[in-house]
Structure 1
Amino acid sequence: MAERSYDFLMPSVNFFGPSVIEKIGERAKMLDMKKPVIVTDKFLENLEGGAVKQTLASLDAAGVDYVVYNGVEPNPKIRNIKEVKALFEKENADSIITVGGGSAHDTGKGAGIILTNGDDITQLAGIETLDNALPPLIAVNTTAGTGSELTRHAVITNEETHLKFVVVSWRNIPLVSFNDPSLMLDVPKGLTAATGMDAFVQSIEPYVSVDHNPITDSQCIEAIKLIETSLREAVANGHNMDARTHMVEAEMLAGMAFNNANLGYVHAMAHQLGGQYDAPHGVCCALLLPYVEKYNLIADPTRFAELAEFMGENTAGLSTRDAAELSVKAMKQMSDDVGIPQTIKEIGADPKDFELMAENALKDGNAASNPRVGTKEDIVKIFQAAYDGNLDFSF
């Protein structure tokens, strides 16, 4: 590990804490934004006193003009990013400000990609495929969740094929991110659980990734500990400010970690579930997590045993293998505690789709960093185990 070189990427400036949203107008002027497109959804746009209203107020105070796109959908589609591009060009905009969770940020990134790198984004799927810089991008985050406000990943769904694909490039990283935990106090329980589990997965996958390094390890460890002590509380009482704050800290750490150490088969497979059945990304990740990591465990039992300790499990006197197995049970317990469905069958998964989904999962940009190298047959078997709710499956 010491002999391997690695880079570390994140936004140039990251604001965290109460009322940081007030600085948006100031930062927009510093970036010479004359007319940004605000990329958000209808609910957030209409939420009185919410993140969009506060963003617009800050821009108004700074004298920055803007136009609003409110058509963001879960699992953002190609049509969404084309709509943003059309509005951008019609209004002679020069920049983008995303307000929301991962769907808003990915929509904004996707629009930026096709504005400067060609209209067919499907041809740009993969890692470092972008030749040109995106328009200046600011991300205002409202969920403790995806980490997309910090990362180089843009996840888009092709609505015609139902396939999700990822464009991974340092050019996608927002110039400035904003995270204000007070904006998340009214996030519904189900969304809190789904986005929180996404952060949980994004702190576990980089820790066991083949691309992990000492910096990302430290971020994963702290994120896992914060989520272990805060996610259940945030779901149980959304107005628990301490829990909300710790979850935002955790999702930022996890975002920084996977932005550099990458992910694995959980995300590669979750993209297929979400694209095929238009299911919430965080729920897909949570449902697959214990099954994928049960499969991965033999690749590095020591690191999985360490995960059990980070999640507060008592591993004293256990063998490395038994402690590693305990980590998988703890992952499933977390998912159950916050109300995630029990099986992928409950979100509409159909076994007849598993072979195609497995084939596409292995093509996903996240697959290469998984700790265990699998086959299409292996991935089908994992999907089937998650469909049956059978955590005792073996290979």
Structure 2
Amino acid sequence: MGLEDKRTVETQDGIAMENIRWGDSRKDMKRRGRSTISMVWIGAILGSAITLGVAYAYLPDILNSRGIFLENTPQQQQFITIEPTQDFGVYTAVARKAMPSVVGITTVELHRDLFFGTREVSGVGTGVIIDGRGYILTNSHVVRDGKAREVKALLNDGRRLDAEVVWSERELDLAIIKVQGSNLPIAELGDSDKTEVGEIAIAIGNPLGLNFQRSLTQGVISGLNRTITDGASGTTIENLIQTDASINPGNSGGPLLNSRGQVIGINTAKVTSGEGLGFAIPINTAKPIVDQFIEKGEFTRVFLGIQGVDIDAFESVTGVKLPEDSGVYVAQVTENSAAARCGIVVGDIIIKIGDKDIDRRSDLIRTIFGYRPGEKTTVTIMRQGKEIKMDMVFD
């Protein structure tokens, strides 16, 4: 029998002691060597199993902390379910609240062409129900500024109803149509004066036609008090809300909503030369008209009694430099009108009505829409470099 020695073999899970006889045969040595290697592998496997077991035990807690959950099926398969974030909940809630009041609008207009004669031209837009008796707010250009021969409204429940244009104003790009109905779902109107840049903005409409009716897009309020000019008609619209929520042809006339599902604007245009540039008319611009229709079933526009022109336009046409950079130049005054009675004359420059600054003609039009016949206000003018305030009663 040979000499005896002790050798240590380190394993994953501890220290194993092994007696080795120096006088043993090679066969015995090999057998003992295989035994030692086997124990090393067994230790490694056991150590790995323990590590994996610990990791697996803590895995649900790690996933839970990240909003990801594991669900076991009867076959013990694991599927990952992602919990919706709060923002997605807001969009869904707004859609459920506002979608029933959104309608699709189709129009047919007779178009006279020099080469093709008279032909029918169809159009598609969007509107929003503002009164349960059937009043629907939309854009003036959607109903061809009131010239459309045929107007129909497609309701959320699938009904397609004939509609009548009861009011349209090209300068504001707003119109109201009416369908025969009762207890229709109406939209809640918000306060666009409280809108701030960075707030959630949600647009609902019919982009590219009724095949994609009531599509919802989301973004933020990108800017306020924007001004755009229609290259085709030359019409300038001011005081617009800018949003990066997608607005495409067919969305016109649809609502721009806040996170509470309130209408804060009426979608009107998209700048085709750039992405993420959509615009909406503030709902507060339309509220005085809407309120009159709900109250009286009609809208009576006040009559100021002047013909006015923007300062820059007057200077461009006449070549005469005016002392004021902004305001509306009075080119004509109608006899016995509200303007004439309060003392406004040709050559005056209107700079304020009530507490609203008047920089351009569009400001003047938008401001007087907020008044009713018989109401009083103060008009501020510039005359030969002097500021004058006048009391006026609207016709």
Give the TM-score normalised by the residue count of structure 2. Answer: 0.26
Is the helix fraction higher in 1 or 2?
A: 1
- Kindly indicate whether structure 1 or structure 2 has the higher relative contact order, using CA contacts under 8 Å at least 6 residues apart: 1
Is the strand fraction higher in 1 or 2?
A: 2
Larger Rg: 1 or 2? 2
